[in-house]
Amino acid sequence: MSLEFGFILINIFTAIVSFSTLSHALLHPSSVSHNVSRSRYYMTTNELWFNQTLDHESPNDHRKFRQRYYEFMDYFRSPDGPMFMIICGEGPCSGIANDYINVLAKKFQAGVVSLEHRYYGKSSPFNSLATENLKYLSSKQALYDLASFRQYYQESLNKKLNISSGGSDNPWFFFGISYSGALSAWFRLKFPHLTCGSLASSAVVRAIYEFSEFDQQIGESAGQECKLALQETNKLLELGLKVKNKAVKSLFNATELDVDADFLYLTADAAVMAFQYGNPDKLCVPLVEAKKNGSDLMETYSTYVREYCMRIWGLRVRTYNRKHLRNTVVTADSAYRLWWFQACTELGYFQVAPKYDSVRSHQINTTFHLDLCKSLFGKDVYPKVDATNLYYGGDRLAATKIIFTNGSEDPWRHASKQNSTHEMPSYIIKCRNCGHGTDIRGCPQSPMVIEGKSNNCSLPDYVNKVRQQMVQHIDLWLSECRKSIRSSI
């Protein structure tokens, strides 16, 4: 998907989960209310505020903006318990989600805080999102935000605990999924003195200009029968657009999309959702059956898009509409424009169709993405992915005490660090419905699994084994941190 690229993979799953989710389409907040009360989704939704520096790189710019955050201290072991920082990513942060972090916080008797990413949600520095006002939206500024907030919160905690100025810090551990997983890894890289370690779940640490591996993984995860059905469906869509354009788009409630490639991007993203979020059967079972029976593949696929992607996940057609994405007024949908800015300036993740055996349309190519970027932000915008990888190290970052986890069926894993080392262990969670952030969110995501339960994963024992290894690393690194803190007193 886009991130949300089909990168905002985001979502308001991000809003729901307080993390990010890379796919183009942000999900609508109403999509999280199915059969579960709001209170069960979150550990807390009580908003708090921090006055954040706008430009951390300028010694002369002293402007501030209000940044939203949350805290949950019910499990905290006073005064020396650990603090868990949950990083919110490319979407609004509506609270601290009740996923597997809740289980970890209880186990380690940790306090939990979560900081909303600058510009997203209610943390916008400006009333207008015109291109000139977005120059402070970057991963580098976001990392400084985390460092400043971490220092502020530690000082505030010391005051609450009546610890004198200059007293020792609590041990901190950082967590993130997807783009925020990358931020978690990059924070440990750039500020190793401020965290004992990081969990980088489905962390897209490698900026990629032409991300053809993304579509290749979709074909692999789909399996041969489903891939062939998807490819045939895509050909029918392309042909249908030529002969009965409005009729085809109306099947998907997408007649507002004047640019055919934007429509084909939406239909490509819709397929991604099944695999990225661990629900392959929602797509493949009806599509393969329709192909075998000689039924209308386009109608079958449009039913999947309308009933699953739109009704359940809240996929919005207008977020693929360039007119909507050019809107500079701050609204609940602004995250789509904001994420595209990050993709178009520093991260890329252009999900282009591979030259051969592509699942998505070949109209989704590099030119499509560059034209979209220029259409939204002006002719001078270009993704400086080489500079991003030079600054952070890509998937060869030189850091320590970072846990990388990826779901075997998640197309984003190809932008993560998949080789394991002693200082940076990496685990691939292998199961048929192990997708984006499975270690934290569980599977399948529909759209959220309370406490990230693994019982509905096709191989729950494998998921639980990786979680046990995560716990061991967190326990070890927190212990080493405490020893370092005591020796410095």
What are 88-135's pLDDT values in tens digits? 999 999 999 999 999 999 999 999 999 999 999 999 999 999 999 999
Give the pair of three-digit tokens for residue 57.
């790189």
Q: How far is CA 265 from CA 84, 146, 238, 368, 441, in A?
A: 37, 33, 12, 10, 26
- Classified by CATH at the fold level, domain 42-206+394-487 comes out as Rossmann fold (3.40.50)
Q: How far is CA 445 from CA 33, 68, 142, 239, in A?
A: 13, 26, 27, 33
Contact (CB, 8 A) for 408 and 434: yes
Question: 177: buried, middle or exposed (CB in 10 Å: 19+, 13-18, 0-12)?
Answer: buried
Please write the tens of the pLDDT for every residue from 211-268.
Answer: 999 999 999 999 999 999 999 999 999 999 999 999 999 999 999 999 999 999 999 9
Query: Quick check: 461 pLDDT over 70?
Result: yes
Cis peptide leading into residue 444 (ω within 30°): yes
pLDDT of residue 71: 98
pLDDT of residue 168: 86
pLDDT of residue 34: 37
Sign of CA dihedral 77, 13, 144, 415: positive
Q: Per-residue confidence at 80, pLDDT binned at 50, 70, 90?
A: very high
Q: Own/partner pairs for 439-442, CB < 8 Å, 24+ apart?
A: 439/100, 439/199, 439/201, 439/405, 439/463, 439/466, 439/467, 439/470, 440/19, 440/99, 440/100, 440/101, 440/175, 440/177, 440/199, 440/201, 441/17, 441/99, 441/100, 441/177, 442/99, 442/100
Q: Hey, which residues are catalytic here?
A: 178, 410, 436
Please write the tens of the pLDDT for every residue from 364-395.
Answer: 999 999 999 999 999 999 999 999 999 999 99
- State the average pLDDT over residues 134-155: 98
Give the number of other CB atoms < 10 A from CB of residue 253.
Answer: 12
CATH 3.40.50.1820 residue ranges for the chain: 42-206+394-487
Comparing 352 with 25, the larger pLDDT belongs to 352
- State the average pLDDT over residues 427-434: 93
Q: Could you give the CA distance from residue 97 to residue 109 in angstroms, rounded to a whole number? A: 17
Query: Quick check: 167 pLDDT over 80?
Result: no
Length of the chain in terms of residues written: 489
Contact (CB, 8 A) for 403 and 199: yes
Q: Could you give the CA distance from residue 134 to residue 467 in angstroms, rounded to a whole number? A: 38
Q: What residues contact residue 69 under an 8 Å CB cut-off, 6+ apart? A: 47, 48, 49, 50, 113, 114, 115, 116, 149
The angle formed by the CA atoms of residues 211, 443 and 288, to the nearest 5 degrees, is 70
pLDDT of residue 12: 40
Contact (CB, 8 A) for 14 and 91: yes
**Bridge partners, 429 (sequence order):** 407
Taking the CA atoms of residue 275, residue 277, residue 281 and residue 283 in that order, the dihedral angle to the nearest 10 degrees is -70
Query: Quick check: 19 pLDDT over 90?
Result: no
Question: 396: buried, middle or exposed (CB in 10 Å: 19+, 13-18, 0-12)?
Answer: exposed
Q: Per-residue confidence at 449, pLDDT binned at 50, 70, 90?
A: confident
Give the number of other CB atoms < 10 A from CB of residue 276.
Answer: 31
Range with lowest mean pLDDT among 47-61, 153-167, 467-481: 153-167
pLDDT of residue 38: 63
pLDDT of residue 487: 73
Please write the tens of the pLDDT for every residue from 401-410.
Answer: 999 999 999 9
Q: How far is CA 312 from CA 33, 122, 271, in A?
A: 10, 25, 14
pLDDT of residue 332: 84
Query: Quick check: 35 pLDDT over 60?
Result: no
The angle formed by the CA atoms of residues 165, 169 and 173, to the nearest 5 degrees, is 155
Contact (CB, 8 A) for 396 and 374: no
pLDDT of residue 367: 98
